Amino acid sequence: MSAMSYLNRFYFEIKNFLSCEEGQDLVEYALVVALIAFGATSAMKALSGEIKTAFGAISSDLGSSL
């Protein structure tokens, strides 16, 4: 094979590689999952104080009732 045919083959292989979109969906799903996990973590941190207060109130009410 001549140098030109190797160069053409290399060019088309690179072109096919760059136009390949098979992994794009996986990356998008991973970003969505990361965003959901970040939101859930933030929400849990925000609610943890309120949950602790509620359980403290229940505990003191049960303690005084018994």
Rounded Cα distance between 5 and 25, Å, is 34
Q: What does the DSSP assignment read for 7-53?
A: HHHHHHHHHHHHH--TTHHHHHHHHHHHHHHHHHHHHHHHHHHHHHH
pTM, rounded to two decimals:
0.47
2-29 pLDDT, tens digit each: 677 877 888 888 887 777 666 677 788 8
Q: Which two tokens stand for residue 17?
A: 């590689």
Q: State which amino acid sits at residue 39.
A: G
56-66 pLDDT, tens digit each: 999 998 888 77
DSSP 61: H
